[in-house]
């Protein structure tokens, strides 16, 4: 079983690289470390040729080279530093190429993934895991474990108590089966580990990352299995999103053009 370890930090010999090497050393799996810094990733320019013309992305960078490396593995472990409460910009730019990513993963079997965020031991990391897991979900992975490891200076992660959790995480990959999620009460979303919830009404909430609805209870949020297994990132809902919204935006836009031209003349 091959596991890819994607280190999404530009810093050499920092905590993310140290953690990646530690994982590779203790792993019972055949691992390969991929450093995001070794790949040139440019920002999506929104041309939409990948969708409406069925073309490969026109941007000249290492997007396809990196995606080929990621998707050739049976599982993925994502390690990323925390920059201003969330993921670094380069990882976000890769996520923003989602319209191209979808064509690569839509027929791919579901595989397990783990996210490990590296953060300083102060409260500046709240968006880290939700965005890391948003990235993994967009690549068609199922998240089996997700947690933060704390360390500021290079190598400090090796002293954090969660380093023991790193060792146990491999078992969740080795024992992975793509089974439906079960109803539960949790303080985080079981799909993407987000602790942020949108209030709908009364005691009804939903996870903004995957749109799974839940009910506030005394000890957390109750998630029903029918909702957990119908979140926005399922294969069925992704297909529906592309076919019933994205692909229909072009004819919709053409129908709106006369009104758009009229409004431009009035306002510009």
Average pLDDT over every residue of 44-51: 93
Q: Count other Cβ atoms within 10 Å, centred on residue 15.
A: 25
Is residue 101 predicted with pLDDT exceeding 90?
yes
pLDDT, tens digit, for every residue of 210-240? Answer: 999 999 999 999 999 999 999 999 999 999 9
Q: What percent of the chain has pLDDT over 70?
A: 100
pLDDT, tens digit, for every residue of 139-186? Answer: 999 999 999 999 989 999 999 998 888 888 889 999 999 999 999 999
Q: How many angstroms separate the CA atoms of 20 and 170, rounded?
A: 13
Residues 6+ apart with CB under 8 A from 129: 115, 117, 146, 147, 148, 192, 193, 194
> What was the pLDDT predicted at 191?
97
pTM of the model: 0.94
> What was the pLDDT predicted at 59?
96
> What was the pLDDT predicted at 31?
94
Average pLDDT over every residue of 199-204: 96
88 in the Ramachandran plot: left (φ > 0), alpha (ψ -120 to 50) or beta?
Answer: beta
**Among positive and negative, which fits the CA dihedral 249, 250, 255, 259?**
positive
Q: Count other Cβ atoms within 10 Å, centred on residue 236.
A: 9
Residue pointed to by tokens 């947690």: 147
Q: How many angstroms separate the CA atoms of 138 and 40, rounded?
A: 20
**Among positive and negative, which fits the CA dihedral 102, 192, 165, 83?**
positive
> What was the pLDDT predicted at 19?
95
Pair of tokens at residue 159: 């002293």
Highest CATH level, class, for 1-179:
alpha beta
Is residue 1 predicted with pLDDT exceeding 90?
no
């Amino acid at each position: 079983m091959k596991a890819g370890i994607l280190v999404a930090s530009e810093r050499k010999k920092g905590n993310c690289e140290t953690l990646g090497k530690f994982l590779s050393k203790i792993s019972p799996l055949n691992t390969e470390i991929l450093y995001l810094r070794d790949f040139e990733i440019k920002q999506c320019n929104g041309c939409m040729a990948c969708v409406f013309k069925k073309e490969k992305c026109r941007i000249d960078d290492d997007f396809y080279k990196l995606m080929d490396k990621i998707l050739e593995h049976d599982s993925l472990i994502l390690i990323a530093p925390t920059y201003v409460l969330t993921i670094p910009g380069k990882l976000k730019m890769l996520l923003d190429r989602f319209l191209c990513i979808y064509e690569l993963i839509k027929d791919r079997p579901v595989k397990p993934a783990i996210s490990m965020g590296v953060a300083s031991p102060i409260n500046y990391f709240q968006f880290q895991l939700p965005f890391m897991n948003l990235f993994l979900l967009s690549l068609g992975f199922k998240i089996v474990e997700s947690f933060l490891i704390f360390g500021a200076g290079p190598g400090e992660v090796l002293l954090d108590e969660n380093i023991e959790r790193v060792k146990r995480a491999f078992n969740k990959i080795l024992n992975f089966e793509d089974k439906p999620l079960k109803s539960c009460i949790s303080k985080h979303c079981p799909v993407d580990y987000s602790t942020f919830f949108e209030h709908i009404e009364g005691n009804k909430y939903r996870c903004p990352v995957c749109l799974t609805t839940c009910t506030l209870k005394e000890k957390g949020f109750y998630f029903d299995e029918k909702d957990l297994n119908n979140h926005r990132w399922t294969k069925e809902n992704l297909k529906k999103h592309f076919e019933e919204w994205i692909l229909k935006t072009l004819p919709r836009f053409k129908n709106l053009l006369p009104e758009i031209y009229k409004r431009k003349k009035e306002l510009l």
